[in-house]
Amino acid sequence: MHPMVNIAVRAARSAGNVIVRNSDRLDRIQVETKGANDFVSEVDIAAEREIVNTLRRAYPDHGILGEESGGEARGDYLWVIDPLDGTTNFLHGFPHFAVSIALLHRGVPEAGVIYDPIRQELFTATRGGGATLEGRRMRMRERRSINDALLGTGFPFRHPEHKPAYLGMFADVLDSARDIRRAGSAALDLAYVAAGRLDGFWEIGLNRWDIAAGALLVQEAGGIVTDFTGSPAFLETGNVAAGSLKLHADLLAHLRPHLTEALGG
């Protein structure tokens, strides 16, 4: 395993231990509201602290961008971290959340780790080195269209201005796809696409820490990740569509009729 991935795995497991230790005291966890339907708990903060300390010890000259603590740029390397993607799920005891850590080199994801502390499943990827689940190589299944596909999505609850466009997308996709799941953790959903548990995924208005690691997993498992216009600038726009080559093209064809100017239409 690449040395930087090893460090990221160590950081993710340390954060996962913090999350698991607190999973039986949900009624006593302190929670603050960051925005509409957007929360941060003391567990998010403690888990992020574990990650930052681990990364700082190994790579003191690298920049770190964390969901809860913000960040700083230092040279060409930037770690992008989400200590608990799926905080609302965690606070309700719904077991679908994960730690997400990605390393960007000059803005391009080079390494990614997603760790599910409840199932103790570890997803890793390096650019050009493939993607693995618990050390086993992942290769996505090819789907010719969304017609026989199980797709994942996320609701734009932080961006109510996009709700009409999203509802149009959802209805269009639902009319064609086998089924759709909305589980509440974009990072883990993208890992599931890479693992073949989902055939594709789309969501509006995500942040870099939500998607950087998961996007690399999909790419290294043989899939495609773009924004809704087909551009690779999904880390900048936050609009993500992922899947195998032919399915991805079909998914975009169902999304494009509903794009507003703000979404690239």
| Distance set, CA 7 to CA 51, 55, 79, 85 (Å) | 10, 7, 11, 19
pLDDT above 70: residue 73: no
pLDDT above 80: residue 29: no
- What confidence tier does 34 reach under pLDDT thresholds 50, 70, 90? low
Percent over 70 (pLDDT), the chain: 94
pLDDT above 90: residue 227: yes
Q: What is the mean pLDDT of residues 231-249?
A: 97
pLDDT at residue 124, rounded to an integer: 98
pLDDT above 70: residue 105: yes
d(CA 158, CA 38): 7
Tokens matching residue 36? 């509409």
- What confidence tier does 25 reach under pLDDT thresholds 50, 70, 90? confident
d(CA 221, CA 265): 29
* Whether the Cβ atoms of residue 163 and residue 156 lie closer than 8 Å to each other: yes
Residue type at 63 in one-letter notation: G
Considering the entire predicted model, what is its pTM? 0.95
Stronger pLDDT, 7 or 142, i.e. the higher one: 7
Name the pairing type of β-strands 130-133 and 136-137.
antiparallel
pLDDT at residue 27, rounded to an integer: 73
pLDDT above 90: residue 41: no
